[in-house]
Amino acid sequence: MRQERGRSERPGKIIAVHLSYASRAAQRGRTPAAPSYFLKASSSVAASGGVVERPAGTELLAFEGEIALVIGRDAHRVGLAEAWDHVAAITAANDLGLYDLRAADKGSNLRSKSRDGFTPLGPDLIDARTVDPRRLRVRTWVNGDLVQDDTTADLLFPLAQIVADLSQHLTLETGDVILTGTPAGSSVIVPGDVVEVEVDAPDAGATSGRLVTTVTSGPGDGFDPALGSLPAVDDTQREEAWGSRTAAGLPDAEPAAAASGLSAELRGKLERVPVAALSQQLRRRGLDNVTIDGVRAMHADRKLVGTAATLRFVPLREDLFAQHGGGFNAQKRAFDTVGAGEVIVIEARGETGSGTLGDILALRAQARGAAGVVTDGGVRDAAAVAAVGLPVYSAGAHPAVLGRRHVPWEAGGTIACGGATVQPGDVIVGDADGVIVIPPTMVDEVVAAALAQEDEDAWIARRVAEGASVDGLFPMDASWRARYDGERDA
């Protein structure tokens, strides 16, 4: 059914979700625990084939290809099981926004999202009863280039949950429209650009057709300063509008050492200290359970030093894997967002019957500047991973993929790996002896003490090599201690 939108056919209200796709959440660096929403004016609705104006004096007009739900009958306090029955149709939407006007309105997005023409919908409707809401796809093209391509398998919150949640707080009325969020790939468009959005259900062969919008320059001199806040942009707005600092033409935010939380000097010291010496110093300070047990280095001659970025797998449950295993899941997000100098530490519960990473993800971590990977699970494509050269510690090799034993569940929380608790930002050090976890508040003290102990142990080793007995020397009694102190201070 071809849909043309006139004033009489406008929805009573348009409700939009702030963040709903895992890929977009990873891009923004935050993953919400529950959906949040904002309203758009119904006067912002436009039909396919129309134009949208970028106001004079602004620079950050951005597109957002989205799946739009059209409510078919009123929904008030409906449960999750019945929520989808209240959706009549699905179509394509472009949730256009002007980042130049976000600051004054905070999260309400009133001025940045409700301008005339900022909600193109259509062109066709898909009967919601004929498709599986978990198997929809949204794609966006700018000037013919595909820039967004994702499916509802990547949603943080299923479409039915969004409908049910909203109905707890207000009545969704017939004809209302819900914009269900955009995946990664949203970016800035300029006058002359043509944006196309399509929603389809590949399994059913149903499609909304391509929603086409052309960007033009707005007339006049911009905004009257006597009436309200003026457009304003900074590098944060530019980064979010364009999708990355690189796309916005901005320099890197910080060097690798600062990004990892370790200064170059401290990193150098950690690279010199054996893990055994660090373990000894931590034990003297009451920390005995800080070794990641059961893991072996792929490159025993490579030192691992960095700060933890965590990833957790939970035991396989087929229904949960169907929801969380596909798309831009937690595993992919962890490897795609790891910072320079960070170590991806993976909780796999010691389960070695499946790989927890392979060569593609190892390459991605290396390209991001990661310091290495530690997993108490398996590695697939082990020879290829080893060839990448990234320091990797694992419990062994296994050819199977995640779905045999694991569900990728969460990136960024506190985890257990090889019997040790690991939090994001903990200092991770590995060598041929194993891997240890150092609380960041103790690292300077522990490293200084370990270096001092290494000097002392080297002096003792020289005396033993000269023929001295270890009795009274290891550990040193008062006589040997006096001799050592005297030579050290000379």
Domain limits of the chain?
A: 7-242, 260-441, 445-489
Residues flagged as binding site for substrate = 358-361, 380
Higher pLDDT, 490 or 78: 78
Task: Give residue-wise pLDDT tens across range 296-306.
Answer: 999 988 899 99
Please give the mean pLDDT across all residues of the chain: 90
What mean pLDDT comes out for the span 245-250? 84
Closest listed residue to residue 187, CA positions, set 67, 275, 63: 63
> Helix H segments across 225-317?
235-242, 256-260, 264-272, 275-284
Residue 72's SS3 state is coil
Task: Give residue-wise pLDDT tens across range 132-175.
Answer: 999 999 999 999 999 999 999 989 999 999 999 999 999 999 99
Find where tokens 């890197």 sit: 252
Q: Which of 177-191, 426-440, 443-457 has the lowest mean pLDDT?
A: 443-457
Most confident range, picked from 7-21, 33-47, 247-261, 442-456:
33-47
Say if CB 195 and CB 189 are below 8 A apart: yes
Residues flagged as binding site = 358-361, 380-381
Residues flagged as binding site for Mg(2+) = 381
Q: Is the peptide bond before 123 cis (omega within 30 degrees of 0)?
A: yes
Q: Look at residue 3 in the predicted model and tell me its pLDDT.
A: 42
Q: Which of 268-282, 438-452, 474-488 has the lowest mean pLDDT?
A: 474-488
The pLDDT confidence band at residue 458, using thresholds 50, 70 and 90, is confident
Higher pLDDT, 222 or 268: 268
Q: What's the CA gap between 378 and 393, in Å, rounded?
A: 9
Find where tokens 């082990």 sit: 382
Q: What is the pTM of this model?
A: 0.57
Whether domain 7-242 has CATH 3.90.850.10:
yes
Looking at CATH, the fold of the domain delimited by 260-441 is given as Glucose Oxidase; domain 1 (3.50.30)
What mean pLDDT comes out for the span 97-119? 89
